[in-house]
Structure 1
Amino acid sequence: MTDQPATPLLDQVRDPADLRKLAPGQLRQLADELRAETISAVGVTGGHLGSGLGVVELTTAIHYVFNTPQDKLVWDVGHQCYPHKILTGRRDRIRTLRMGDGLSGFTKRSESEYDPFGAAHSSTSISAALGFAIANKLSGQPGKGIAVIGDGAMSAGMAYEAMNNARDAGNRLIVILNDNDMSIAPPVGGLSAYLARIVSSREFLSVRETLRRLARKLPRPLHKAAKKTDEFARGMAMGGTLFEELGFYYVGPVDGHNLDQLIPVLENVRDMADGPVLVHVVTVKGKGYAPAEAAADKYHGVQKFNVVTGEQAKAPPGPPSYTNVFAKALIDEAARDEKIVAITAAMPSGTGLDKFAAAYPDRCFDVGIAEQHAVTFAAGLAAQGMRPFATIYSTFLQRAYDQVVHDVAIQNLPVRFAIDRAGLVGADGSTHAGSFDVTYLATLPNMVVMAAADEAELVHMVHTAACHDSGPIALRYPRGNGTGVALPETPQRLEIGKGRIVREGKKVAILSLGTRLEEALKAADALDARGLSTTVADLRFAKPLDEALIRKLLTTHDVAVTVEEGAIGGLGAHVLTLASDEGLIDAGLKLRTMRLPDIFQDQDKPEKQYDDARLNAPHIVETVLTALRHNSTGIDEAGVRA
């Protein structure tokens, strides 16, 4: 059901300037219409729903009270920003969310002046808002930095690093802690709401500052006692001592769905004369939509759905997802080996480790949004003889690269990196694409890097990683469903650094890494039909390379093409280096590399993304034919003589 709701008041709001023309008594109706419009839009597009529903009133209040876009509003992660997009001039495109050429599912600078900072990874908002605040302060420009950060994102150390550095921002920085899940404060009631409003008022601040000045004139022991009494009283009432130790004036908790409470508090905070402020707002994820409120994950991410019933569109039956294949394979390994443990950084269901945790609750660890800690924690486990699987999305593992290098690779510790969402990811776009993991891992000494061509290979690679105790090892696999191959009853331990020939030929060699193997085989069919006998190899390993196999293919075929779903610097670069070191380029080798383009690819349907990246079978065929047409003195775009 996609009929749009009646929204007479929302229809009058094109941007926050229109919103600020409304009377306070109209905001409740506006928020209700904004919630209905959000539900309707996501019912059409799919995407993140529960987080946005939880901040409808907060979004309305912020844009009503503050002078956006002069005041810079930074949403942490950004998956809660759909109501914000509706209020900031993008309502006419809201039903293009996450589609090709449509609105991003996250904040994006190129999309609107109301998105001053792009985000899709968590815990960056306070740092960015602090940057805006300090820049305006130094340049004498008006405008505050406002960060809205969820309690989950506060599990990352970066948030506290930013807060520890925030004193110089003065009253230019406001952090709004959206507490919707972890229950880090007592439930919001009338008393706490009243206290929040009082302690943010000018009168209270004036009295408190007067008392502070008087206390400074007391003898030192009495001054210290007065200070501790003040901190203790406020900490008992509202839990703000930690934030105040970091230099913030703490206000809250405030009911994030009660506009009569939110508006006065935000107005008081806006007009404060001194110091950064943290406003603690308590909300309900999925608020106002019964199916979302009833769901265990509060409808965090959804497919297209029926707005009336909440029923989500089901994907057609097909092969299991790579994530589920990995989860089952790891559970089977854990049944054979009690030293196997699993670690996730706040993505248990996304990585399949919720299933592992159900089977082995004492051997599964969700460390929160803390990838750096996850990797070093895994290193400590490995150093003590355990066999840890650090199961992290490719794009999130980037956040822990120093730990991968310093704490794992240099010490040659046998941490197993299970890298989900490797390659392109469709609607989640460039911020979540796993484009760089082969490049950033295969450069490291001691590291083994595998890429599964299909779900059966993934099972073998999980087993291989479990058995590999001589150093770090990584296995990468994509988002989405497998190819439909039969899964092995008994996994095989692969020989490290050994590929396989999938198809024999004589003239053309296609060297594939990962799930482009299926397209490589289609290309081979097309080339064979043209009389070009084609070999297809699944190299399996980006590091160490199967040098003997590669050397044989490069010296016995007229053209060789590497194909991978990763950025420049991956498999192709390593094969080119091998060819250079062996002197094969000087012998007139026609070698081409196919990889992801040197751009950040926008969201789209996966098949369109692969086509744009020129990684489908027709592009492989074209690359081969173009190489054969080059004369013996030509130089291709990779700098390899043809």
Structure 2
Amino acid sequence: MYDLLKTIDDPAALRQLDRDSLRPLADELREFILQSVSQTGGHLSSNLGTVELTIALHYVFNTPYDRVVWDVGHQTYPHKILTGRRDAMPTLRQWGGISGFPRRSESEYDTFGTAHSSTSISAAIGMAAASRIKGEARTAIAVIGDGAMTAGMAFEALNNGGVSEDLPLLVILNDNDMSISPPVGALNRYLARLMSGQFYATARKGVERVLRVAPPVLELARRFEEHAKGMVGPATMFEEFGFNYIGPIDGHDLDSLIPTLQNIKALKGPQFLHVVTRKGQGYKLAEADPVLYHGPGKFNPAEGIRPAAAGKKAYMQVFGEWLCDMAELDPRIVGITPAMREGSGMVEFEQRFPDRYFDVGIAEQHAVTFAAGLATEGLLPVVAIYSTFLQRGYDQLIHDVALQNLPVVFAIDRAGLVGADGATHAGAYDMAFLRCIPNMTVMVPADENEARQMLFTASQLGTPAAVRYPRGAGTGVATVKQMTGVPVGKGEVRRESGRALGQQRIAILAYGTMVAQSLEAGTALDATVVNMRFVKPVDAELLAHLAATHDALVTVEEGCVMGGAGSACVESLLASGWVGPVLQLGLPDAFIDHGDPAKLLAQCGLDASGIAASIRRRFPIADAPAASTSAASTSAASAPAADPAPSDAPPSHAVTAAPDATDGGAKLVA
């Protein structure tokens, strides 16, 4: 099995194959991907769709000398397999294993790290310009999907790249959603090869020289060529950017791809190749439902993905249900997503309220300002967005929403560590970058019902507000249908220490997902545990009370320590004149690699045992007696509840600046 594939350890070996061997190789590669991803989980549909394109690129171009930049990068499994990482595929997206995205530190063939969309053309232009400056005869190739082409950054890059007639650049539009449905048969193959050939290029320049003496005739000829091309593809727009447009061609037809790429390789200046591929190609179940098979967990390829057993409700489900319930109650509610309908839990909302649902494509900046425009007209926009994707709309958040104090609700998903997707998708910075913005309210729920009530609170403020919640399932707390909200800027004491002041009475101030872990640690140490709820405004009254009744304070957050929620607490305490010891625990000043979420938390010292260990190291505190079970009590603003959730220790071989478990993300103040 995989007789051909086993011989390919790098693209140089691939280029030694005869053309007739490439089709069987593609079949083996596709089957290998299916079997591999079914064992590890990962992105499937998109990778099945890029098998032939990947083979053709490495066969025609001299990689890695010629640079290939894969946009988003979740379609690079064929690329990884053909560039020496075939045997590492069982470790895909696991702790210590290879990444699910291109990574420069992983392979010389990964020329640019990509995981967020629409960056490939800009990076490839930079590489092409650098090769020209250094006098190196190499081509830079950007492979970008039709979805990623919806982002403004892609068009900014096209606008810049097309002005240099001698730039050694090729942009490949991988049209895999059939949003453009051109003919891809024999006639189109012939035209694509013709338009990419030397005869066409030479003849075109010759005609231009002849007709230059008669400008009206030359302009007529140019218009005729544009319209002729327009009959088989959307050429005119890309030609206007300064690119020579070729295609569309069948991205699964090696007999079309390879000669076309060979012809393009001989051309000068910016080239634009349009290929049409099919997500899930070769696996009928994925072809029929590419969304379901976009990023599956482990499954049996013979049976396909089976419905998961009912379990704890995911936070995105909580959001989706709240949004539908609110839309029924308030006609002003509008839902906005930047191409994350399924991931953000908005499928039902789109079905029930299609006139109030907007998918703006991969255009986070536009999503934020679009919401601001809606808000100026009296509507109540809710932007469902991943934490790391909101980073791309930060200027708009400040300038267009907060500065004008507009009532936009940001439902921030994937806050904190995200497991297999790693550093590129980890929501480590949202609390820090949101709390410094005037007019913003920032909430962090500890469980599913609190998330629902906080979303309702955000919708009632009349000012910008954000609710950040993690990926995946909650703690198992049932959501209450009635929406009552939460007191703005008020935390709650979940557990009261039985120790007397002076006996190292510790208060743990926890945010969001860290409440459950802190309750377990607090029980072991007989410490007070507080669900702080609000990053901004911080509960200054409760903080002052805790400072007066405890010997030391500990803040715990699943976000960066630097400038995060713990820093907000410290700033409030310093402003009140308190100078006692505060230990800040959170994510360290490092990018956290991919792996099992529980193991990552343990590696950062943010599981229950890690929190307790950090507190013991900083303060001379003994464990609570086994019989000590101090009842939770309330203070200035409080209420009950919580569930713990332990985790395992990670392996010792940390990668990509993973934090030291002994220190975690700790910072000691005063």
Alignment TM class, shorter chain as reference: over 0.9
| Displacement of 1:514 | 0.8
The aligned counterpart of 2:285 is: 291
Q: After TM superposition, list the pairs within 5 Å mapping 1:469-548 onto structure 2.
A: 469=462, 471-505=463-497, 507-528=505-526, 534-548=527-541
- Alpha carbons of 1:455 and 1:38: their partners in 2 closer, same or farther (altered >3 Å)? same
The letter for the 1-side match of 2:329 is R
The aligned counterpart of 1:213 is: 209
The letter for the 2-side match of 1:547 is A
Does structure 1 residue 63 correspond to structure 2 residue 58? yes
Q: Distance in 1 between matches of 2:380 and 2:577?
A: 41
Does structure 1 residue 458 correspond to structure 2 residue 458? no
Residue 176 of structure 1, aligned match among 148, 172, 177? 172
The letter for the 2-side match of 1:627 is R
| Displacement of 1:171 | 4.7
The aligned counterpart of 2:327 is: 334
The aligned counterpart of 1:627 is: 618
SS of residue matched to 2:55: helix
Q: Distance in 1 between matches of 2:219 and 2:612?
A: 77
1:499-526 superposed Cα distances (whole Å, 9 cap, x missing partner) = 1121222521111111110011101110
Does structure 1 residue 412 correspond to structure 2 residue 441? no
The aligned counterpart of 2:391 is: 398
SS of residue matched to 2:559: coil
| Displacement of 1:295 | 1.3
| Displacement of 1:298 | 6.2
Q: Which runs of 5+ in 1 are unaligned?
A: 1-5, 529-533, 631-635
The letter for the 2-side match of 1:510 is I
**The structure with more helix, counted as a fraction of residues:** 1
Does the 8 Å contact 1:422/1:477 carry over to 2?
yes
SS of residue matched to 1:168: coil
Q: Distance in 2 between matches of 1:165 and 1:480?
A: 40
| Displacement of 1:639 | 5.6
1:124-180 superposed Cα distances (whole Å, 9 cap, x missing partner) = 001111111110110012311101100010000111111111132725100111011
Does structure 1 residue 306 correspond to structure 2 residue 300? yes
| Displacement of 1:626 | 2.9
The letter for the 2-side match of 1:476 is R
- Alpha carbons of 1:110 and 1:58: their partners in 2 closer, same or farther (altered >3 Å)? same
1:236-292 superposed Cα distances (whole Å, 9 cap, x missing partner) = 3322010010010000011111111111000000111x2100100011110011111
Q: Distance in 1 between matches of 2:308 and 2:165?
A: 49
SS of residue matched to 1:251: strand
RMSD between aligned alpha carbons? 1.5
The aligned counterpart of 1:559 is: 552
The letter for the 1-side match of 2:134 is S
Q: Distance in 2 between matches of 1:311 and 1:349?
A: 16
The letter for the 2-side match of 1:521 is L
The letter for the 1-side match of 2:209 is R
SS of residue matched to 1:365: strand
Q: Which runs of 5+ in 2 are unaligned?
A: 500-504, 622-664
Does the 8 Å contact 1:456/1:488 carry over to 2?
yes
The aligned counterpart of 1:605 is: 596
The aligned counterpart of 2:271 is: 277
Does structure 1 residue 113 correspond to structure 2 residue 108? yes
SS of residue matched to 1:385: coil
Does structure 1 residue 640 correspond to structure 2 residue 669? yes
SS of residue matched to 2:343: helix
SS of residue matched to 1:212: helix
SS of residue matched to 2:275: strand
Does structure 1 residue 11 correspond to structure 2 residue 6? yes
The letter for the 2-side match of 1:15 is D
TM-score, length basis structure 2: 0.90
Q: Distance in 2 between matches of 1:298 and 1:35?
A: 18
Residue 234 of structure 2, aligned match among 236, 239, 243? 239
| Displacement of 1:493 | 2.0
| Displacement of 1:392 | 0.2
Does the 8 Å contact 1:185/1:239 carry over to 2?
no
| Displacement of 1:227 | 2.3
The letter for the 1-side match of 2:289 is A
The aligned counterpart of 1:3 is: none
Does structure 1 residue 445 correspond to structure 2 residue 438? yes
TM-score, length basis structure 1: 0.94
SS of residue matched to 2:231: helix
The letter for the 2-side match of 1:430 is A
SS of residue matched to 1:375: helix
SS of residue matched to 2:242: coil
The aligned counterpart of 2:134 is: 139
Range with bigger deviation, 54-63 or 458-467: 458-467
Q: After TM superposition, list the pairs within 5 Å mapping 1:121-200 onto structure 2.
A: 121-166=116-161, 167-168=163-164, 170-200=166-196
Does the 8 Å contact 2:132/2:167 carry over to 1?
no
SS of residue matched to 2:79: helix
Q: Distance in 2 between matches of 1:385 and 1:134?
A: 47
SS of residue matched to 1:238: coil
The aligned counterpart of 1:84 is: 79
Does structure 1 residue 366 correspond to structure 2 residue 395? no
Does the 8 Å contact 1:450/1:540 carry over to 2?
yes
Does the 8 Å contact 2:183/2:232 carry over to 1?
no
| Displacement of 1:82 | 0.3
Q: Distance in 2 between matches of 1:112 and 1:552?
A: 54
| Displacement of 1:296 | 4.9
| Displacement of 1:229 | 2.1
- Alpha carbons of 1:38 and 1:296: their partners in 2 closer, same or farther (altered >3 Å)? closer
Range with bigger deviation, 261-270 or 135-144: 135-144
Does the 8 Å contact 2:605/2:614 carry over to 1?
no
Q: Distance in 2 between matches of 1:196 and 1:298?
A: 33
The letter for the 2-side match of 1:524 is G
| Displacement of 1:116 | 0.7
Q: Distance in 2 between matches of 1:293 and 1:59?
A: 19
Q: Distance in 2 between matches of 1:125 and 1:373?
A: 19
Does the 8 Å contact 1:70/1:142 carry over to 2?
no
- Alpha carbons of 1:537 and 1:172: their partners in 2 closer, same or farther (altered >3 Å)? same
1:77-135 superposed Cα distances (whole Å, 9 cap, x missing partner) = 00000011000000010111111111100111111000010111011001111111110
Q: Distance in 2 between matches of 1:552 and 1:623?
A: 24
Does the 8 Å contact 1:590/1:627 carry over to 2?
no
The letter for the 2-side match of 1:379 is A
Does the 8 Å contact 1:559/1:624 carry over to 2?
no
Q: Percent of counterpart pairs with the same letter?
A: 52
| Displacement of 1:365 | 0.5
Does the 8 Å contact 1:133/1:169 carry over to 2?
no
The aligned counterpart of 1:325 is: 318
Q: Distance in 2 between matches of 1:169 and 1:629?
A: 70
Residue 387 of structure 1, aligned match among 380, 383, 392? 380
SS of residue matched to 2:669: coil
The aligned counterpart of 1:531 is: none
Q: Distance in 1 between matches of 2:441 and 2:124?
A: 39
- Alpha carbons of 1:237 and 1:317: their partners in 2 closer, same or farther (altered >3 Å)? closer
Q: Distance in 1 between matches of 2:396 and 2:331?
A: 26
